[in-house]
Amino acid sequence: MKIPLDYICLKSGVLCPRCRRLVEEGKVGEHEVEVMKVLIDLEEKDPEFKFLRDAVYVKTYTSNGFHVLVLKIPEDIPPTTLIRLSRVLSDRLNAKVRVVKQTNDMKYMIAQIVAPARVQGVNSLWLPDGTVQHIVRIPRYDARLLPTTIENIEKILKEMFGENIRVKLS
């Protein structure tokens, strides 16, 4: 797996000056170091997750104990494998984890995060000041299926896409 930190630093638990600087500057979060450690361990020891060798670690977004892990992975990996990886990471990190495949399609990435709830649509609202606000519509019935609160999802989506995103139950 390609990661921003050195393998040796993660294995030993002692960060070299370059890796420490990445963490101090905020390019890599403190919580991401532990996530990368677990990913490397799974890649080496679990044959089910051998696909991680071809994966690229992008970022982990966190809000109140809910982690969204974004990876660039090969196209032939089925979504069920990502769900199993999410469960294993959740057990190891003692937090709710959702693994998401990075794409250019905003709706598809949001659907991966809120699954098993359905996304009815993503609307773009152009505001008078020139900014864009995206509104993610989810059926009211599916609100109980969301992996975390709507506020946590909105916070993570805003951090991921760098735009104002609201989740609306319809």
pLDDT in tens, the chain (170 residues): 888 888 888 888 888 899 889 888 888 888 888 888 888 888 888 888 888 888 899 999 998 889 999 999 888 888 888 889 999 999 998 899 999 999 888 899 999 999 989 999 999 999 898 888 999 999 999 889 999 899 999 999 999 998 889 999 98
Q: Could you tell me the sign of the dihedral formed by the alpha carbons of 112, 102, 87, 83, in that order? A: positive
Looking at the structure of the chain, the number of domains it has is 2
CATH of the domain at 37: 3.30.300
Looking at the structure, do residues 142 and 95 belong to the same domain, yes or no? no
Tokens, residue 44: 């080496």
Q: Give the residue from 67, 102, 137 where a domain finishes.
A: 102
Of all helices (H) and strands (E), which one includes residue 76? none
**Residue carrying structure tokens 């649509």:** 121
φ, ψ (nearest 5 deg) of residue 140: -60, -35
Query: What distance in Å separates the CA atoms of residue 29 and residue 61, rounded to the nearest whole number?
Result: 9
pTM value?
0.84
Can you give the residue range of the structural domain that contains 77? 1-102
Looking at the structure, do residues 137 and 59 belong to the same domain, yes or no? no
